[in-house]
Amino acid sequence: MKTVNDFNFQNKKVLVRVDFNVPQDAELKVTDSTRIAAVKPTIEKILQDGGSVILMTHLGRPKGAVKEEFSLKNIVDEVSAVLGHPIKFVEDSIGDVAVEASKNLQPGEILLLENLRFHNEEENGDEKFAEQLSLLGDAYVNDAFGTAHRAHASTSVIAEFFHETKFFGLLMANELKAIDKVLKSGEKPVTAILGGSKVSTKITIIENILPAIDNLIIGGGMAFTFIKALGGKIGNSLVEDDKLPLALEILAKAKENKVSVHLPSDTVIAESFNNESESKVVDIYEIPEGWMGLDAGTKSREQFNDVLLNSRTILWNGPIGVFEMPNFAAGTIALGESIAEATKLGAFSLVGGGDSVAFVKQFGYDEKVSYVSTGGGAMLESLEGLELPGIAAINN
Ligand code: AMP
């Protein structure tokens, strides 16, 4: 893996694809700058070598049109504050103005290009557009893990124009190392926790990770498809009836791979999908008619805790209850505690994919696990075993 640490960027203008697709409030103020802070090490390395940095990113979905609310002008101050450097801005990502701005850039300076998606050619992976971007720099760095699963002009096509001078940024390298640590070089026992709503969206992940893991904890809404397939009574709980045979197949494959599957033994049930609904804990195989399981029960939490405290490598994707409702968040909080405790005892823990990342940040577990992925879709596709276009472009 060729990273920015393998090159000296003195006097080089370095095009760095970042993912500054940050959330903003109604006044367009950035509400979470994690993605900006995440690329600081890469930028510092280039600046310390005596190079200059040209940042390129997309923001939102302007769909090829120039729209004020998606302008990167609105985030320049935040980028500058988080990176701790003045930021120059140019109002287009290609063409004369961009070329001029790049020409004037001095070592130690940072230039931010306007939103790449103001040009349809970005998402279309247009070669001409990629070539025009490439004219701005002497080297290309991809540090945008969040968009690494897209074959866009700036994330993959552009690499064609930099044979010897294309590199992974340090964030990208860390993301790849974290996934490798779980799927290839993980210290055993390796435990994966998969939760969330549906089995259908996680099948490819399960199939891909089975050979690498020792324990599979299945929780959340997707557990009920397994419980029903095993003959349990699940009341009105979430279920994918067309996936019952598949659930049994997964269990059989797990057995072939000598993976211990841990399904919840009890569940917190409610009469309606509502935080204020009356609730109680029951055996997960005996949910009364008219009730639905919305969280892992107390016994399940202990059962998962035992598995996790005996694990050396942990992968977590998906909440094990409806954590958005405070009355059904306790199971996922207990899981976060167990993973934090296991991490303290020396396990490597990786949290990745949409909702579990939102959860660890909201409840403060992001500091207590080993690594929180910055890529939702990119993380899930990596776990599915796919080679992401943004990664292939640098490797090949
Ligand atoms: P996913 O996007 O598939 O990872 O699913 C995440 C969603 O699953 C979250 O919004 C949770 O509220 C939801 N979820 C977790 N457990 C349950 C459950 N028992 N019943 C319904 N939804 C659930």
Q: What is the pLDDT of residues 99-134, one digit of tens each?
A: 999 999 999 999 999 999 999 999 999 999 999 999
pLDDT digits (tens, 9 = 90+) for 159-196: 999 999 999 999 999 999 999 999 998 899 999 999 99
Per-residue pLDDT, averaged over 220-227, amounts to: 97
* CB neighbour list of residue 90: distance below 8 Å, 6 or more residues apart: 97, 98, 101, 111, 112, 113, 114
Q: Which CATH superfamily is domain 4-171 in?
A: Phosphoglycerate kinase, N-terminal domain (3.40.50.1260)
Residue 357 has pLDDT above 90, yes or no: no
Q: Of the listed 17, 35, 150, 228, which one is catalytic?
A: 35
Q: Which atom of ligand 1 is nearest to the CA of 223?
A: 19
Give the residue extent of every domain in the chain: 4-171, 186-383
Cα-to-centroid distance, 312 and ligand 1 (Å): 26
From atom 1 of ligand 1, which residue's Cα is the shortest distance away? 196
Per-residue pLDDT, averaged over 194-208, amounts to: 92
Cα-to-centroid distance, 295 and ligand 1 (Å): 9
pTM: 0.91
Whether 4-171 and 186-383 share one fold: the answer is yes
Q: Of the listed 64, 354, 361, 368, which one is catalytic?
A: 354
Residue 354 has pLDDT above 80, yes or no: no
pLDDT at 356: 87
Ligand 1 binding pocket, CB closer than 6 Å: 195-198, 201, 220-221, 238, 293-294, 318-319, 321-322, 324, 354-355
Residue 376 has pLDDT above 90, yes or no: no
Q: Spelled out in words, what is the top-level CATH class assigned to the domain 186-383?
A: alpha beta
Average predicted confidence (pLDDT) for the chain: 96
Cα-to-centroid distance, 137 and ligand 1 (Å): 44
Active site residue 354: yes
From atom 4 of ligand 1, which residue's Cα is the shortest distance away? 196
Q: Which residue has the higher pLDDT, 366 or 353?
A: 366
pLDDT at 374: 87
pLDDT digits (tens, 9 = 90+) for 13-46: 999 999 999 999 999 999 999 999 999 999 999 9
Per-residue pLDDT, averaged over 65-91, amounts to: 97
Active site residue 293: no
pLDDT at 190: 98
pLDDT at 166: 98
Per-residue pLDDT, averaged over 202-212, amounts to: 94
> Ligand 1, residues 204, 243, 316, 322: which to mutate, most atoms within 8 A of Cβ?
322
Cα-to-centroid distance, 318 and ligand 1 (Å): 7
pLDDT at 342: 98
Active site residue 377: yes
Per-residue pLDDT, averaged over 315-343, amounts to: 97
pLDDT at 305: 98
Q: Which atom of ligand 1 is nearest to the CA of 318?
A: 4
Per-residue pLDDT, averaged over 136-161, amounts to: 97
